[in-house]
Amino acid sequence: MTTLYFIEEGEGPALLLLHSGGMSSEEWRRHIPAFAKHFRVIAPDLPGHGRSPLPENEPLSIGAMARAVRTLLDDLDIAEAHVLGSSMGGAVALRLILDAPERVSRLILYRVHYTKDPALYRHTLDIANPERWRQVGLDKWLSQIHTPQGGPDAWRQVIQRVADLFNPETTDHRHTLDDLRRITAPTLIIVGDRDPLVPLDAALAMYRTIPTAALWVLPNATHVTAANTWRRDCFDLEVVRFLKHHYPAEVSA
């Protein structure tokens, strides 16, 4: 039985939305109405985020989150789903398709690298700085969504656990290009052209390695791509188009 809190809306093929680190299913709130016109949308709070508990004394890990997501799909009698993962959620989506490829029909990796290294980890550490979130005016919102984790200051622990999760010395988010070659599901890679966590050369390597991959580079975008504000309409349109229309590799010459 799943312990994950989730939002469910719409009918049709299942679309699983996996949020980024330090966020919750609320990250997808503005997108869900557009997606629910076409899909049965499932947006969980991943373990240790929002309303989903992290088992006592259990560290945050990508593998454990992927297993929790599989349990959720089992409990909802969903054999196969489209999966859209954002940042940390993209790492979970990547682990899900590598561990259980039969559960993923189409995959969207949104602002996610396939591994972690020390050079990039310093950017991840910025996530653990509460002052960063205060400067962008999100500290009160994070406090609100993560209060179930232990009170109004629990959000600080949540974002610290995310930073610890991606420590290159201990993380279980560590894949090779050979791993990516095993992905056969149609895959869309979305990345900002100035993302310090997902350099363009890494996104291009993923695009060139996954056999049926497509690539969408957002111009003048860092790890914060404005996909849920002024870019939301085009983001939603491209996601729905990719999931509903024939994939180029499937079209005869």
Evaluate whether residue 136 is within a structural domain. Answer: yes
What is the three-class DSSP state of 197? Answer: coil
Tell me the residue ranges of DSSP E strands in the chain.
6-9, 14-18, 40-44, 81-86, 104-110, 187-192, 213-218
Say yes or no to pLDDT of 44 above 50: yes
Give the CATH number, domain containing residue 143.
3.40.50.1820
Amino acid (1-letter code) at residue 28: W
Confidence at residue 98, expressed as pLDDT on a 0 to 100 scale: 98
Say yes or no to pLDDT of 253 above 90: no
Confidence at residue 136, expressed as pLDDT on a 0 to 100 scale: 86
How far apart are the C-alpha atoms of 203 and 161, rounded to whole Å?
25
Q: What is the tens place of the pLDDT at every residue in 45-75?
A: 999 999 999 977 788 999 999 999 999 999 9
Confidence at residue 118, expressed as pLDDT on a 0 to 100 scale: 85
Evaluate whether residue 142 is within a structural domain. Answer: yes
Q: Distance between alpha carbon 243 and the CA centroid of its chain, in Å?
A: 16
Q: What is the tens place of the pLDDT at every residue in 142-170?
A: 999 999 999 999 999 999 999 999 999 99
Residue 113 belongs to domain spanning? 6-244
Number of neighbouring beta carbons within 10 Å of residue 148: 16
109, 166, 160: which is closest to 133 by C-alpha?
160
Q: What is the tens place of the pLDDT at every residue in 180-209?
A: 999 999 999 999 999 999 999 999 999 999
Evaluate whether residue 113 is within a structural domain. Answer: yes
What is the three-class DSSP state of 43? Answer: strand
What's the whole-model pTM score? 0.95
Evaluate whether residue 250 is within a structural domain. Answer: no
Evaluate whether residue 187 is within a structural domain. Answer: yes
How far apart are the C-alpha atoms of 145 and 118, rounded to whole Å?
30
Confidence at residue 59, expressed as pLDDT on a 0 to 100 scale: 86
**Is residue 22 within 8 Å of 49, Cβ to Cβ?**
yes
Structural domains in the chain (count): 1
Q: Indicate the pairing of strand 40-44 with strand 6-9.
A: antiparallel
- Region of 72 (left: φ > 0; alpha: ψ -120 to 50; beta: rest) is alpha
Say yes or no to pLDDT of 251 above 90: no
Number of neighbouring beta carbons within 10 Å of residue 72: 19
Evaluate whether residue 1 is within a structural domain. Answer: no
Confidence at residue 56, expressed as pLDDT on a 0 to 100 scale: 75
How far apart are the C-alpha atoms of 116 and 198, rounded to whole Å?
10
Evaluate whether residue 56 is within a structural domain. Answer: yes
Evaluate whether residue 251 is within a structural domain. Answer: no
